[in-house]
Chain A
Amino acid sequence: MADEIILLDFLPSIFGMRIRVALAEKGLKYEYREQDLWNKSPLLLEMNPVHKKIPVLIHNGKPICESTIIVQYIDEVWKDKSPLLPADPYERAQARFWADYIDKKLYDLGKKITLTKGEEQDTRKREFLEFLKLLEGELGDKPFFGGENFGFVDVSLVAFSSRFYAYESFGNFSIEAECPKLIAWTKRCMERESVSSSLLDPQKVHDFVAGMRRRYGVE
């Protein structure tokens, strides 16, 4: 019997994009259901009663929540194609470490750039670039964080690249000037169908962020 896969998501969501990328890497067909985060659907509230957030993957009626947990689930169930986590336990621990660090830091740092001004924004920009430089160091000369192959850390980070234009525009700085290797990596990832078909166009993300700035009274 064919798998029934539904993704409750929100187009500009970095966390949702991770799931779209992972599903595409595995060549999986699924039903995408766009959610209104300001008017949450009964289905979303039923499937994620604890956090009430997207993304939620519903596989044969059973929900899985939290994006890195969902990506691991997808990798474990459909393990015969495009493995995202390495086989070696130490390398797996390192991959989980970097994905966890990205989760703890990047979203909030980026959000603060878009929602602040003046000196505070300058501080956030500095912290953000420092963080990206650390990631650049971790990437080293490898084509992907996963080494020769696109992997778990690549999935967790690449969706942020759809927000880079928005960060640069509202923060008035250039990420490429500071982190050229990382930008080269984002371009390399975008050559993959799974990534280019999953990430929202940077201009649309920019317009979404502009809307959020108006909502929060920043502009």
Chain B
Amino acid sequence: MADEIVLLSTWPSMFGNRVRVALAEKGLKYEYKEEDLWNKSPLLLMMNPVHKKIPVLIHNGKPISESMIIVEYIDEVWNHKSPLLPTDPYQRAQARFWADYVDKKLYDIGKKIIWSTKGEQETGKKELIECLKLLEGELGDNPYFGGENFGFVDVSLVTFSCWFHTYESYGNFSIETECPKLVAWTKRCLEKESVSSSLADPHKIHDFASGVRKRLGIE
């Protein structure tokens, strides 16, 4: 019997898009349901009663929440194709560490740049550049964080790349100037169908962010 896969997400979400990338890497068909986060659906509230957040993957009726937990789940269930985590336990621990680092840092820093006061914005810019430089160092001369192959850390980070234009615009700086290797990596990832078909258009993200800023009374 064919798997029934449903993804509750929103198109600008870097967390939701991670799941889209993972599903595409595995060549999986699924039903996508766009959620309105200002008017959450009964399905979302039922499937993620604890956090009430997207993304939620519903696999044969059973929900899985938290984006990197979902990505690991996808990797374990459909383990015959495009493995995302390495097999070696130490390398797996390192991959989880860096995905956790992206999770702990990038979203909140990005928020400072886009929707807060000028002072916080400057702090956010500095922190973002530091963070991206550290990640650049971790990438080194590898084509991907996963080494020769696109992997777990690549999935966790690449979906932030469509937000770079927005960070640059509101923060008034160039990520490519500061972190050229990382931007080269984002371009390399975008050559993959699984990534280019899953990420939102950077200009649409910018318009979306502008809309949220107006809603929050920032502009």
Interface positions of A (Cβ within 8 A of B): 50, 59, 62, 64-66, 69-70, 72-73, 76-77, 89-90, 92-94, 96-97, 100-101, 134
Contacts and interface: CB of A to CB of B under 8 A. Distances in A.
Contacts of A69: 93, 96-97, 100
Given A93-B69, A93-B70, A101 B50 contact: yes
Question: Which 4 residue pairs across A and B have the least CB separation, nearest first?
Answer: A76-B89, A89-B76, A73-B93, A93-B73
Contacts of A76: 89, 92
B50 A134 contact: yes
B73 A66 contact: no
A50 B101 CA distance: 9
Given A70-B93, A89-B77, A92-B76, A100 B101 contact: no
Contacts of B90: 59, 62, 64, 73
B89 A77 contact: yes
B134 A90 contact: no
B101 A97 contact: no
Given A59-B90, A101-B51, 17 more contacts: A50-B101, A64-B94, A64-B97, A65-B97, A66-B100, A69-B96, A73-B89, A76-B89, A76-B92, A77-B89, A92-B73, A93-B69, A93-B72, A96-B69, A97-B64, A97-B66, A134-B50
A97 B63 CA distance: 11
B80 to A, nearest CB: 13
Contact of B69 (A50, A66, A100): A100
Nearest to A60: B90
25 contacts: A50-B101, A50-B134, A64-B93, A64-B94, A66-B96, A66-B100, A69-B93, A70-B93, A72-B92, A72-B96, A73-B89, A73-B90, A89-B73, A90-B62, A92-B72, A92-B76, A93-B64, A93-B69, A93-B70, A94-B64, A96-B72, A97-B64, A97-B66, A100-B66, A101-B51
Contacts of A100: 66, 69
Contacts of B101: 50
Nearest to B64: A93
B159 interface: no
Contact of B65 (A62, A65, A97): A97
Which of A89, A96, A100 has the largest number of chain B CB atoms within 10 A? A89
Contacts of A66: 96-97, 100
Contacts of A73: 89-90, 92-93
B62 to A, nearest CB: 6
A70 B66 CA distance: 19
A70 B100 CA distance: 12
Contacts of B96: 66, 69, 72
Interface in B102-152: 134
A90 B50 contact: no
B45 to A, nearest CB: 15
Contacts of B93: 64, 69-70, 72-73
Interface in B30-88: 50-51, 59, 62, 64-66, 69-70, 72-73, 76-77
